[in-house]
Structure 1
Amino acid sequence: MFRTLTSPNPTEFAGKRAIITGGSRGIGAAIVQRLLDGGATVATTARNATDETPKAATFIQGDISTLAGVQAFTAAALNELGGVDIVVNNAAAARTHLGGISSIPDEEWLDALNLNYLSAVRVNNALLPALREAGPGSVIVNISSGAALTPVPPLAHYGAAKAALNTYGKALASELAPAGIRVTTITPGNVLTPGADVIRQNFADAMSVPLADVTAGIPLGRPGDPRDIAEAVAYLASDRAQWVTGANLIVDGGELPVI
């Protein structure tokens, strides 16, 4: 069970403008709320808002799996916020193919790359002029996945896209470091979110085991809560991490292999 933390410093991100993709529910909604709690002004996007979407954020409906969708969202977000200091690329989706790699249709490989990898590339490219204008201290955080480190055939397309995101993030960090813009990656383990719950249920059904067995091997004894990832984002986006760039922070309860 996630232990409730003390209240965040409400001025930690005061004056900061954050743009977060995939912020309607799950990990994304938790990140949005955490940065709001720290005093940031936040704009976020998803195909649709949900009951989980923090009401204090500006929600911009959109589809960032296409270049045109990214351009429309980032333009609207910059118009709303007047600039950006923090970018969190969280949008992601995966569908299991229990028939293995050969059963994954070509269009789903393309969909996986567009949403789970290229959306981050396009969002960052679109926002980079504003990040440079904001100056040193601006931050990009890309949300990856344990599937990039422990690839399995039914999610090979998703894991490959996230592995590409990891490599891209490291390269971007090197390129932007002279400008004082930090780029980091977070790799979550098994986190309890609506999308991940469906995937775990698919695997449990395929193996004919109880759902709880899928997360039973986590050393710290529980699956993750979206707030676990949000706290990691808050750290990496803050001045507490001012000498951290190019890093991939694994937040997994000890489950994933060392990289």
Structure 2
Amino acid sequence: MEKELTGKVALVTGGTKGIGKAIADRLSQAGATVIVTARNHPGDENLKHHFIAADITISSETDKMVWEINEKYGAIDILVNNMGGSSSPSGGFGVLTDKHWENDMQLNLHSAVRIDRAILPQMVEKNSGVIIHVSSITGALPVYESLGAYAVAKAALNNYSKSLAKEFTPKGIRIAAVSPGMVKTDTMDAYLQSLADTTASSIEEVTRNLMNSLGGIPMGRMALPDEIAELVGFLVSPRASYITGVNYIIDGGANPSL
């Protein structure tokens, strides 16, 4: 199991920090050759994986990145679409402009569509491949006060992922989504700090309020990035060979529905 991805080439978008970095490290431990991409180099001299700077909200940069990977490593076997996020302000629907909606859709939906379009033909040609879309529990449980546009984009990503699986699974490609709840990352810490600053509350208060808005977290804590990475590591492995077209919620039990 430790080297079950030996010989595989994996691309992790947004793979330099947080969940993306944990996923990249997990796939590397399993033997994969891992390439990570982000808009800017994180400045980490100990970065373990091949890094390509690319803004995958731009088609030309996406195509150039895929070409570079193919030239150096060959076809991509595993794609983890982890890039996403939101810079929209809190305050509900009334504070969101067209630009906020467009940015959140670009980051969380269109970027995944764009890179899938660049990579799927080569997967179809060899009749194999795995694509994982990292979504969010907010796709099913929107937090409208602060993540309205982001939640809508993730709900769309979930629908898109299912649609893609229906079309491409018969061609040998497995496609699935993973929807984390609250995860302890630097980005989450910064987000909670911004909420605290906006509402003149403490970090503890805004953390508790956000947990409550998701219906509470029975585990009583946020997930660790490595816990999300472990699920992704399984889903891209041969052990998950019959799994496709699903959305795995990993949220410590927060989602109250079946």
TM-score, structure 1 length as denominator?
0.90
User: Aligned to 1:68, what secondary structure does the other structure show?
Assistant: helix
User: Cα deviations across residues 36-64 of structure 1 (Å, max 9, x unaligned)?
Assistant: 01000011110122256863311001111
User: Cα deviations across residues 197-218 of structure 1 (Å, max 9, x unaligned)?
Assistant: 2222333445554323425642
CA RMSD of aligned residues (A): 1.9
User: Cα deviations across residues 142-185 of structure 1 (Å, max 9, x unaligned)?
Assistant: 00012212211321111111111000000000001111211000
Q: Work out whether 1:50 is the aligned partner of 2:42.
A: yes
Q: Is the 8 A contact 2:192 2:203 kept in 1?
A: yes
* 1:255 CA drift (Å): 1.2
User: Aligned to 1:141, what secondary structure does the other structure show?
Assistant: strand
| Distance in 2 between residues matched to 1:224 and 1:191, nearest whole Å | 5
Q: Is the 8 A contact 2:41 2:53 kept in 1?
A: yes
* 1:129 CA drift (Å): 1.5
Aligned match of 1:145 in 130, 136, 144? Answer: 136
Q: Work out whether 1:17 is the aligned partner of 2:9.
A: yes
* 1:30 CA drift (Å): 0.6
| Percent identity of paired positions between Structure 1 and Structure 2 | 39
Aligned match of 2:190 in 183, 192, 198? Answer: 198
| Distance in 1 between residues matched to 2:45 and 2:169, nearest whole Å | 33
Counterparts in 2 of 1:155-174, with a 5 A limit?
A: 155-174=147-166
TM-score, structure 2 length as denominator?
0.90
Aligned residue pairs total 250
| Distance in 2 between residues matched to 1:52 and 1:141, nearest whole Å | 26
Residues 160 and 18 of structure 1: CA distance in aligned 2, closer, same or farther (over 3 Å):
same
Q: Work out whether 1:182 is the aligned partner of 2:174.
A: yes
| Distance in 2 between residues matched to 1:92 and 1:52, nearest whole Å | 21
Task: Give unmatched runs, 5+ long, in structure 1.
Answer: 1-8
| Distance in 2 between residues matched to 1:58 and 1:225, nearest whole Å | 24
Residues 257 and 52 of structure 1: CA distance in aligned 2, closer, same or farther (over 3 Å):
farther
1:128 alignment counterpart: 120
Task: Give unmatched runs, 5+ long, in structure 2.
Answer: none
